[in-house]
């Protein structure tokens, strides 16, 4: 697939306290991965998301809280894990803008696949609160842009981060045009994502992995989510691309290898080609062992390019 990587230098200005796992070094690792790939088109985010785009997902009070909390110096915390430095708000707004531009690029035929490599991550941010390193939920903002601004009828989001995408699920709970499927390790942070959580519209699919699960268990479960999404024939496929299910990751206990991320990317690309008009937008979420993150991102995007 013709693949476009979307980045923003603002991501380097989101500074978390010393020792925090969601750190600038992650983006440096991802940048090295992008630099290693031949034939990858690159672009910087052109503009931050505006308030209208955020309001499609977030309550006004949450947006106001994040803007008001933005510090002039040092750090402030929004919860035990979620910190802001003076550059964080701008970085988060550019991360949302990046997903919107990725969606527009694939809908306008500039690329078949986009990989939005921004930080902070977004999938834990709920409509009314920041949470789990995430200020705004950029993948949900991108999905609602596709539905409300670009006129699509149905958008699917598949979340392969090792943690459940509770914020994205909360967006899907109230939006039947959204299909949300997540594969994650069970009962770690944030504690949601049980398989009986299917949503009042029946548009949510959760698959929980036991601690220690490796590719032999993980891929068949991902295939179940893919088969379900395939039957829904979405107009666009979005992927929350977290790389913390890697065996070297310090925040979780699954055992995926580098190559498993390539295999996942190939399966997701095949789904986009067969059932979503070859429109795929992948959004960086977690991944906290920098060497593993660098290798896994390179393998993942390489597989998209080869698909």
| Phi and psi torsions of 58, nearest 5° | -105, 150
Catalytic residue among 14, 62, 94, 124: 124
Smallest gap, in angstroms, from Cβ of residue 252 to Zn ion? 7
d(CA 116, CA 141): 13
Nearer to Zn ion among residue 48 and residue 121 (C-beta): 121
Q: Which of 119, 145, 163, 164 is close enough to bind Zn ion by CB under 5 A?
A: 163
Nearer to Zn ion among residue 163 and residue 263 (C-beta): 163
Part in contact with Zn ion (CB under 5 A); list of ranges 91-99, 147-155, 160-168, 208-216: 160-168
Encoded one letter per residue, x for contact with Zn ion by CB under 5 A and - for no contact, window 120-159 reads: ----------------------------------------
Q: Which of 244, 248, 258, 260 is close enough to bind Zn ion by CB under 5 A?
A: 244
DSSP code of residue 217: H
Smallest gap, in angstroms, from Cβ of residue 14 to Zn ion? 16
- Quick one: which of 104, 102, 28, 76 has its CA closest to 297? 28
d(CA 237, CA 234): 7
Q: Are 218 and 259 in contact (CB under 8 A)?
A: no
Residues 263-302 that bind Zn ion (CB under 5 A): 286
Cβ within 8 Å of residue 45, ≥6 positions away: 6, 7, 8, 10, 94, 95, 97, 98, 101, 118
For 270-283, give one letter per residue: b (16+ CB within 10 A) or e. Answer: ebbbebbbbbbbbb
Whether 124 is a known active-site residue: answer: yes
Nearer to Zn ion among residue 122 and residue 302 (C-beta): 122
Cβ within 8 Å of residue 105, ≥6 positions away: 4, 6, 43, 111, 114
The residue number whose beta carbon is nearest to Zn ion equals: 286
d(CA 225, CA 127): 24
Smallest gap, in angstroms, from Cβ of residue 113 to Zn ion? 22
Q: Which of 102, 181, 234, 242 is close enough to bind Zn ion by CB under 5 A?
A: 242
Nearer to Zn ion among residue 16 and residue 275 (C-beta): 16
Nearer to Zn ion among residue 86 and residue 253 (C-beta): 253
What Cα–Cα distance (Å) separates residue 218 from each residue in 68, 222, 266, 295? 41, 6, 15, 19
Part in contact with Zn ion (CB under 5 A); list of ranges 88-96, 133-141, 216-224, 239-247: 239-247
Smallest gap, in angstroms, from Cβ of residue 122 to Zn ion? 11
Beta partners for residue 246, in sequence order: 256
Smallest gap, in angstroms, from Cβ of residue 173 to Zn ion? 20
| Residues at the interface with Zn ion (CB under 5 A) | 161, 163, 242, 244, 286
What residues are annotated to the active site?
A: 124
């Amino acid at each position: 697939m013709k693949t476009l990587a979307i980045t923003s230098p603002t991501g380097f200005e989101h500074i978390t306290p010393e020792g925090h796992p969601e750190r600038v070094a992650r983006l440096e690792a991802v940048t090295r991965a992008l630099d290693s790939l031949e034939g990858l088109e690159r672009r910087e985010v052109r503009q931050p998301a505006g308030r209208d785009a955020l309001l499609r997902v977030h309550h006004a009070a949450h947006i106001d809280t994040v803007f008001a909390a933005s510090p002039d110096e040092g750090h402030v915390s929004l919860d035990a894990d979620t910190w802001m430095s003076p550059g964080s708000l701008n970085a988060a707004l550019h991360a949302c803008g990046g997903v919107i531009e990725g969606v527009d690029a694939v809908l306008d035929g500039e690329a078949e696949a986009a990989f939005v490599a921004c930080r902070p991550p977004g999938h834990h941010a709920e409509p009314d609160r920041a949470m789990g390193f995430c200020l705004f939920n950029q993948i949900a903002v991108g999905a609602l842009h596709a539905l409300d601004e670009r006129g699509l009828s149905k958008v699917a989001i598949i979340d392969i981060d090792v943690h459940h995408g509770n914020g994205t699920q909360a967006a899907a709970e109230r939006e039947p045009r959204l299909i949300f499927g997540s594969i994650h390790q069970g009962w770690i942070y944030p504690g949601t994502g049980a398989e009986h959580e299917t949503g009042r519209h029946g548009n949510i699919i959760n698959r929980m992995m036991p601690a220690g699960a490796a590719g032999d268990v993980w891929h068949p479960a991902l295939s179940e989510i893919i088969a379900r999404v395939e039957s829904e024939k979405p107009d666009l496929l979005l992927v929350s691309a977290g790389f913390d299910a890697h065996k070297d990751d310090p925040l979780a206990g699954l055992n995926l290898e580098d190559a498993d991320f390539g295999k996942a990317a190939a399966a997701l690309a095949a789904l986009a080609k067969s059932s979503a008009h070859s429109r795929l937008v992948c959004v960086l979420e977690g991944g906290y062992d920098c060497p593993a993150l660098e290798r896994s991102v390179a393998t993942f995007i390489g597989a998209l390019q080869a698909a």
